[in-house]
């Protein structure tokens, strides 16, 4: 069946506690070498640079969002297109406003379902004109897709079918439009580590990804158990 899916610009927001160590550029590089191997460190730093404390922090955030959500979503959408005769439609959600300051994981859901002002916290800003326009647009796209497997319709910016890595996707931002998808080369780097369809098991090692205090606490628990 047709498939519609995508990822958000700030998928990492709720995942930062699981990010590689990034207190300094050196600590991030060392963590990257442990996780991806010394032989791939130069490739790793090309996609996730650590030239300064700020870039190391941003790279660590980007990486954990890629590993947990973005890259796997990208792979799943690509696999569906490669193994199915059905059409695939991909989006990158980047919208930011006073109402919705960051495109975090699931931020698009209230726009898609027309519930942008159904918030329990009255202190939060209400949706503005740009939010209402985006909600109307996404509701139209998702309704069309639910009806006949194609989000396109009269009066809507054309959402091209996904043709594989590097092809156009629908970007939902200040001016929603079709453009080349984000992150393709980063995702290919992560994908290159798959063997027999699986990413390395040692990536599950909590000491590699959790902040030092949590890793230390777990280490103490192991010692106590012994």
| Chain length of the chain | 226
Q: Is 127 left (phi over 0), alpha (psi -120 to 50) or beta?
A: beta
User: Is 32:41 a contact under the CB 8 Å cutoff?
Assistant: yes
* Beta-bridge partners for 149: none
User: Is 70:78 a contact under the CB 8 Å cutoff?
Assistant: no
Mean pLDDT estimate for the chain:
89
Whole-angstrom Cα distance, residue 133 to residue 114? 11
Condensed to tens digits (0 to 9), the pLDDT of residues 30-68 reads 999 999 999 999 999 999 999 999 999 999 999 999 999
If pLDDT is split at 50, 70 and 90, which confidence band does 122 have? confident
161, with CB counted inside 10 A (0-12, 13-18, 19+), is middle
Whole-angstrom Cα distance, residue 177 to residue 173? 8
Which strand ranges, in their side-by-side order, compose the sheet holding 3-8?
A: 3-8, 88-93, 168-172, 177-180
How many structural domains comprise the chain? Answer: 1
If pLDDT is split at 50, 70 and 90, which confidence band does 225 have? very low
| Residue 101 token pair | 């300051």
Of 222 and 159, the structure prediction assigns the larger pLDDT to: 159
Instruction: Give the end-to-end CA distance of the chain in Å, rounded to a whole number.
Output: 52
Condensed to tens digits (0 to 9), the pLDDT of residues 72-118 reads 999 999 999 999 999 999 999 999 999 999 999 999 999 999 999 87
CATH number for 191: 3.40.50.1820
User: Is 80:3 a contact under the CB 8 Å cutoff?
Assistant: yes
Range of the domain at 139: 3-225
Q: What pTM was estimated for this model as a whole?
A: 0.85
| Residue 129 token pair | 């004109």
User: Is 137:121 a contact under the CB 8 Å cutoff?
Assistant: no
Q: How many CA atoms lie within 13 A of 59 on its CB side?
A: 26
Whole-angstrom Cα distance, residue 79 to residue 125? 40
**Residue owning tokens 């000491």:** 207
User: Is 200:193 a contact under the CB 8 Å cutoff?
Assistant: yes
* Beta-bridge partners for 195: 198
User: What is the SS3 assignment for 72?
Assistant: helix
């Amino acid at each position: 069946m047709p498939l519609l899916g995508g990822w958000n610009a700030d998928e990492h927001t709720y995942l930062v506690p699981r990010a590689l160590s990034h207190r300094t550029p050196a600590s991030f590089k060392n963590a990257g070498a442990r996780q991806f191997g010394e032989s791939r460190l130069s490739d790793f730093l090309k996609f996730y640079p650590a030239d300064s404390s700020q870039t190391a922090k941003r790279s660590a955030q980007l990486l954990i969002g890629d590993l947990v959500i973005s890259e796997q979503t990208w792979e799943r959408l690509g696999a569906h297109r490669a193994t199915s005769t059905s059409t695939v439609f991909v989006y990158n959600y980047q919208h930011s406003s006073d109402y919705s300051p960051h495109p975090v994981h699931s931020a698009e859901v209230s726009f898609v379902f027309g519930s942008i002002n159904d918030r329990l916290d009255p202190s939060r800003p209400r949706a503005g004109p740009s939010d209402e326009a985006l909600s109307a647009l996404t509701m139209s796209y998702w309704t069309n897709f639910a009806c006949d497997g194609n989000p396109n319709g009269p009066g809507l910016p054309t959402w091209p079918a996904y043709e594989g890595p590097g092809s156009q996707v629908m970007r939902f931002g200040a001016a929603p439009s079709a453009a080349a998808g984000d992150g393709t080369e980063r995702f290919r780097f992560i994908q290159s580590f798959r063997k027999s369809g699986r990413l390395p098991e040692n990536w599950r090692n909590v000491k590699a990804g959790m902040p030092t205090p949590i890793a230390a606490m777990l280490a103490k628990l192991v010692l106590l158990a012994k």
